């Protein structure tokens, strides 16, 4: 859903580009090529400003998220295109927590949108499944749950040690993500929402999900709603993925489910995500990390970043251009013009060139 309403289809969209570390830099470069090709044919302009926030900068001068960065992003930009962050030279990846988690929490990006879309039946490990069956989105609550950072350790390192991690579920947090799921299903004509929790065991923290889901679903009588416990849901996704269109769940389960989804649709190299606050500046990134093992070798798949760019274009009200990016990816997969991870022989740069050329051809 274009969650940032576009006043007009024309006009300039201002995009902050943060390539980050490792393969983040390589795949973002290719995504920019493809985005520029798509924008060259339309009435709306994309304006890119690049920021060097990442390990190099941190190691040079200790900066993670610069002073005033959040206010500047809110004031001067419509969206953020992010690569990946993480570098083995930085102890505990301190810069990563400050930069990425800092933006997620301080921009209140409460929706983590992870589409699972199979572009070619040959890419799924599920026997006999095709593109229409592996096609759903996971909407993960992105600001609370077990990842809220609430907890503590007592008598650390002793035989009596206690470690607590608190599962934070607020009325506001649960309601807004569930409501977003119904809005998303309704906007995209998807017809079905499945909410997943573990309320039979987590009788306090997840009971609120049950209650809020029952309330909110009555506002959307045209959408079929269903609840599955997380353990049943993962079995069902593998057994018969075609029954799902929109899945909404908490932070932890969403994290795990979306990696399962990424594998069902061809692997980490292809998976995009959006960190969204509807109507406000939001951040789009490939699901994969900085992958230091393959960085600098020109072998990383740029498709995750290109599909993340398509989500960004949707968010900016530029769905026709987003469609071009997706068609280019589909064409590259069926023509086997891809990187090695999904069976092709192109390098990162060559795969990006192919996609950009395909977009230009679509415009001609
Ligand atoms: P994080 O800890 O942030 O998840 P990571 O760097 O440990 O990141 P990922 O980047 O998520 O791990 O990737 C795990 C592995 O998957 C990589 O080591 C790499 O081999 C493979 N991989 C990830 N992204 C891509 C890609 N775009 N193209 C090809 N292979 C990839």
User: What is the per-residue pLDDT across 282-292, written as a single tens digit (0 to 9) for each?
Assistant: 999 999 999 99
Residues 294 and 251 in one domain: no
The model's confidence at residue 7, banded by pLDDT at 50, 70 and 90, is very low
The model's confidence at residue 97, banded by pLDDT at 50, 70 and 90, is confident
Map 16-53 to HEC letters. Answer: EEEEECCHHHHHHHHHHHHHHHHHCCCCEEEEEEECCC
Domain boundary among 204, 237, 269: 269
Provide the Cα torsion 182, 185, 188, 189; round to 10°: -120
Mean per-residue pLDDT over the chain, rounded: 94
CATH of the domain at 95: 3.40.718.10
Question: What is the position in ligand 1's atom list of the atom closest to the CA of 84?
Answer: 3
Decide if 231 is catalytic: yes
10: left (phi over 0), alpha (psi -120 to 50) or beta: beta
Domain boundary among 249, 269, 289: 269
Residues 259 and 128 in one domain: yes
Residues 73 and 98 in one domain: yes
| CA torsion through residues 37, 265, 79, 245, sign | positive
In total, how many domains does the chain have? 2
- Lowest-confidence pick of 1-5, 95-99, 163-167: 1-5
Token pair in block for residue 147? 């990842």
Residues 85 and 119 in one domain: no
| Statement: residue 9 has pLDDT above 60 | no
Ligand 1 pocket mutation, candidates 286, 288, 339, criterion most atoms within 8 A of CB: 288
What is the 68 CA–ligand 1 centroid distance (Å)? 31
Residues 258 and 298 in one domain: no
Q: Please state, in angstroms and rounded to a whole number, the distance separating the CA atoms of residues 110 and 158.
A: 37
Average confidence (pLDDT) over 86-110: 93
- The residue contributing the CA closest to ligand 1 atom 3 is 289
What is the 55 CA–ligand 1 centroid distance (Å)? 17
Contact by Cβ (8 Å): 228, 197: no
Place of tokens 């949707």: 314
Question: What is the position in ligand 1's atom list of the atom closest to the CA of 287?
Answer: 11
241: left (phi over 0), alpha (psi -120 to 50) or beta: alpha
Residues 223 and 345 in one domain: no
Residue ranges around ligand 1 (CB below 6 Å): 23, 27, 86, 268-269, 288-294, 300-301, 304, 341
Residues 86 and 122 in one domain: no
Residues 341 and 353 in one domain: yes
Q: What's the predicted TM-score (pTM) here?
A: 0.94
Q: Please state, in angstroms and rounded to a whole number, the distance separating the CA atoms of residues 32 and 49.
A: 11
Domain boundary among 230, 250, 269: 269
Residues 21 and 150 in one domain: no
Other C-beta atoms closer than 10 Å to the C-beta of 22 total: 26
Token pair in block for residue 277? 């606050």
Instruction: Compute CA 261 distance to the chain's CA centroid, rounded to the nearest angstrom.
Output: 12
- Catalytic: which of 21, 87, 255, 314? 255
The pLDDT assigned to 10 comes to 61
| Statement: residue 304 has pLDDT above 80 | yes
What is the 291 CA–ligand 1 centroid distance (Å)? 4
Domain containing residue 163? 111-269
What is the 267 CA–ligand 1 centroid distance (Å)? 10
Could you report how far apart the first and last alpha carbons of the chain are, in Å? 27
β pairing state of 272-276 and 135-141: unpaired
Decide if 21 is catalytic: no
The model's confidence at residue 75, banded by pLDDT at 50, 70 and 90, is very high
- Catalytic: which of 36, 98, 220, 259? 259
Decide if 259 is catalytic: yes
What percent of the chain is modeled with pLDDT above 90? 92
The model's confidence at residue 351, banded by pLDDT at 50, 70 and 90, is very high
Q: Write out pLDDT tens, residues 181-228.
A: 999 999 999 999 999 999 999 999 999 999 999 999 999 999 999 999
Q: Please state, in angstroms and rounded to a whole number, the distance separating the CA atoms of residues 179 and 216.
A: 7
- The residue contributing the CA closest to ligand 1 atom 13 is 291
What is the 273 CA–ligand 1 centroid distance (Å)? 15
- The residue contributing the CA closest to ligand 1 atom 1 is 289
- The residue contributing the CA closest to ligand 1 atom 25 is 269
Average confidence (pLDDT) over 103-108: 94
| Statement: residue 41 has pLDDT above 90 | no
The pLDDT assigned to 3 comes to 45
The pLDDT assigned to 42 comes to 74
For the stretch 235-238, contacts whose Cβ atoms lie closer than 8 Å and that sit 24 or more positions apart, written own/partner, are 237/261, 237/264, 238/126, 238/264
Residues 31 and 164 in one domain: no
What is the 305 CA–ligand 1 centroid distance (Å)? 13
Decide if 198 is catalytic: yes
Residues 100 and 168 in one domain: no
- The residue contributing the CA closest to ligand 1 atom 31 is 269
Average confidence (pLDDT) over 89-97: 91
Residues 138 and 230 in one domain: yes
Question: What is the position in ligand 1's atom list of the atom closest to the CA of 302?
Answer: 27
- Lowest-confidence pick of 42-46, 48-52, 161-165: 42-46
């Amino acid at each position: 859903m274009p969650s940032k309403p576009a006043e007009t289809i024309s006009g300039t969209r201002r995009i902050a580009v943060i390539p980050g570390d490792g393969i983040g830099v390589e795949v973002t470069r290719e995504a920019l090529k493809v985005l520029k090709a798509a924008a060259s044919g339309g009435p709306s302009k994309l304006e890119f400003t690049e920021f060097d926030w990442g390990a190099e900068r941190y190691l040079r001068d200790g900066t993670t998220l610069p002073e005033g960065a959040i206010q500047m992003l809110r004031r001067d930009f419509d969206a953020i295109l992010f690569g990946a962050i993480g570098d083995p030279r930085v102890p505990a990846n301190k810069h990563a927590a400050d930069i990425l988690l800092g933006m997620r929490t301080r921009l209140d990006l409460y929706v983590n949108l992870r589409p699972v879309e199979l572009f070619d039946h040959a890419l799924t490990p599920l026997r006999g499944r095709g593109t229409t069956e592996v096609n759903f989105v996971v909407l993960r609550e992105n600001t609370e749950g077990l990842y809220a950072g609430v907890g503590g350790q007592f008598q650390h390192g002793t035989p009596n040690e206690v470690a607590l991690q608190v599962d934070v579920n607020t009325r506001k947090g649960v309601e807004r993500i569930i409501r977003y799921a119904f809005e998303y299903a309704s906007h995209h004509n998807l017809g079905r929402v499945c909410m997943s929790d573990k309320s039979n065991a987590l009788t306090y923290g997840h009971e609120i999900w049950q209650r809020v889901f029952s309330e909110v679903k009555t506002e959307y009588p045209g959408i079929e709603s269903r609840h599955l416990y997380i353990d049943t849901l993962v079995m069902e996704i593998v057994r018969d993925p075609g029954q799902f269109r929109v899945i909404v769940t908490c932070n932890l389960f969403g994290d795990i489910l979306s990696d399962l989804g990424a594998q069902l649709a061809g692997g980490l190299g292809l998976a995009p995500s959006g960190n969204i606050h509807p109507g406000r500046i939001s951040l789009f990134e490939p699901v994969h990390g900085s992958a230091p093992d393959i960085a600098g070798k020109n072998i990383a798949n740029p498709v995750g970043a290109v599909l993340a760019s398509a989500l960004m274009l949707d968010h900016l009200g530029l769905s026709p251009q987003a469609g071009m990016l997706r068609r280019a990816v589909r064409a590259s997969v069926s023509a086997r013009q891809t990187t090695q991870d999904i069976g092709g022989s192109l390098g990162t740069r060559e795969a990006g060139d192919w996609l950009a050329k395909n977009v230009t051809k679509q415009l001609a």
